[in-house]
């Protein structure tokens, strides 16, 4: 112990170390933000400053990084995205950290993006905006207005009213529901966009691993559900009655809005649902499904040029 104490005393007496320390101390005390802090806290005396010099140095080093902020991804602070702040309490100086504005913005964006879930939907659809929808056709303008109105007025849990967007291939129906999802996100309303053919195909596969109920629960409980390209799937009685029918009944009872896109209008979709893989025709069961869809949606026709050929 004596040898350690002796070494420390000798180190403190070292002139080079002392010069470096004094230079560091001068820089710390000259830092404008520290000067301002000390002026605002007259209770902090000289001994308190000297005893907490390393805390002040830590604050200066981290705060200077913020002064010359290189962006959140390149933040060199000990805790990336966190800004230091000086506090005085019970005779001690303390450095606390809180998220900087860039960190808060990034966290909020991440939180908002988590409100939009998707299954089998291209990334560009998830980034869609009403500002990017071409208004080159009266039908597209009318449909865009109807979608924007829904996004502003949707009230999951209070009103199950949704939309049924129908029209030929490539006119922008899927892009519009992506724009709806982003407007809903701004209102803190979560949504799920599901490409119906792939979802129904996955449900058939789920029979073998016992995850049917889990997958159905995730979809049927979405605040706003968007079934994209319904009618493009191969129909089976089980998918129609025990998957789609159950989902729609639950959402009607819970007053959760559902939006559909399809190449079929109501009547054409009903005919499609009446035919099963085995070649049978079940008009009554198809009509029962369509009664729920008609009751819960407003038809919106979308026309115009095929955007995928431009």
Domain layout of the chain by residue ranges: 2-100, 115-309
Q: What is the rounded average pLDDT of the residues 131-142?
A: 85
Residue 118's φ and ψ, nearest 5 degrees, are -150, 155
**Per-residue pLDDT, 278:** 65
Model pTM?
0.69
DSSP readout, the chain?
-HHHHHHHHHHHH-HHHHHHHHHHHHHHHH-HHHHHHHHH-TT--HHHHHHTHHHHHHHHHHHHHHHT---GGG--SSSTTEEEEEEEETTEEEEEEEE-HHHHHHHHHHHHHTTEEEES--HHHHT--GGGS---SHHHHHHHHHHHHHHHH--TTT---EEEEE-STTSSHHHHHHHHHHHHHHTT--EEEEEHHHHHHHHHHHHHHT-HHHHHHHHHT-SEEEEETTTSSPP-HHIIIIIIHHHHHHHHHHT--EEEEESS-HHHHHHHHHB-TTS-B-HHHHHHHHHHHHHHEEEEE--S--GGG-
Chain mean pLDDT for the chain: 88
Determine which of 9-13, 124-128, 181-185 has the lowest per-residue pLDDT on average: 9-13
Instruction: Give percent of the chain above pLDDT 70.
Output: 92
**Per-residue pLDDT, 105:** 83
Q: What is the rounded average pLDDT of the residues 26-38?
A: 90
How confident is the model over 253-276, as pLDDT tens digits?
999 999 999 999 999 999 999 987
Residue 292 has pLDDT above 80, yes or no: yes
Give CA torsion, residues 95, 101, 102, 106, to 10 deg: 110
Instruction: Give percent of the chain above pLDDT 90.
Output: 53
**Per-residue pLDDT, 240:** 92
**Per-residue pLDDT, 1:** 42
How confident is the model over 206-232, as pLDDT tens digits?
888 888 898 899 899 999 999 999 999
CATH of 115-309, one of 3.40.50.150, 3.50.50.100, 3.30.1330.20, 3.40.50.300: 3.40.50.300
Residue 12 has pLDDT above 80, yes or no: no
Radius of gyration of the chain (CA): 31
Burial class (CB in 10 A: 0-12, 13-18, 19+), 99: middle
Residue 239's φ and ψ, nearest 5 degrees, are -60, -45
**Per-residue pLDDT, 107:** 82
How confident is the model over 158-207, as pLDDT tens digits?
999 999 999 998 888 999 999 999 999 989 999 999 999 999 998 888 88
Compute the distance between CA of residue 97 and CA of residue 103 in angstroms, rounded to an integer: 12
How confident is the model over 72-120, as pLDDT tens digits?
999 999 999 999 999 988 778 899 999 999 888 888 777 766 667 877 8
Residue 279: CA count within 13 A, CB half-sphere: 0
Burial class (CB in 10 A: 0-12, 13-18, 19+), 28: buried
């Amino acid at each position: 112990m004596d040898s350690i104490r002796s070494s420390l005393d000798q180190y403190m007496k070292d002139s080079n170390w002392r010069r470096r320390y004094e230079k560091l101390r001068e820089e710390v005390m000259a830092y404008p933000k520290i000067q301002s802090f000390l002026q605002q806290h007259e209770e902090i005396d000289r001994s308190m400053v000297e005893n907490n010099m390393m805390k002040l140095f830590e604050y200066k080093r981290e705060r200077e990084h913020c002064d010359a902020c290189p962006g959140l991804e390149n933040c060199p602070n000990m805790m990336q995205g966190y800004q230091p702040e000086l506090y005085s309490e019970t005779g001690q100086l303390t450095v606390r950290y809180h998220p900087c504005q860039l960190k808060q913005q990034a966290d909020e964006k991440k939180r908002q993006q988590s409100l939009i879930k998707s299954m089998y939907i291209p990334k560009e659809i998830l980034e869609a905006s009403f500002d990017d929808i071409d208004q080159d056709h009266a039908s597209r303008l009318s449909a865009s207005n109807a979608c924007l109105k829904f996004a502003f007025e949707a009230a999951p849990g209070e009103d199950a009213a949704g939309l049924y967007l129908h029209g030929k291939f490539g006119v922008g129906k899927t892009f519009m529901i992506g724009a709806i999802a982003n407007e809903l996100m701004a209102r803190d309303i979560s949504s799920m966009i599901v490409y119906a053919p792939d979802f129904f195909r996955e449900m058939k596969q789920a029979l073998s691993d016992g995850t049917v109920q889990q997958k159905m629960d995730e979809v049927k409980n979405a605040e706003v559900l968007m079934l994209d390209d319904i009618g493009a799937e191969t129909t089976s009685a089980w998918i129609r009655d025990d998957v789609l029918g159950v989902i729609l009944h639950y959402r009607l009872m819970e007053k959760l809005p559902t939006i559909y896109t399809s190449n079929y209008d109501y009547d054409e979709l009903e005919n499609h649902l009446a035919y099963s893989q085995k070649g049978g025709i079940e008009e009554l069961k198809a009509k029962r499904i369509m009664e729920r869809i008609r009751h819960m949606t407003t038809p919106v026709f979308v026309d115009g040029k095929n955007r995928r050929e431009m």
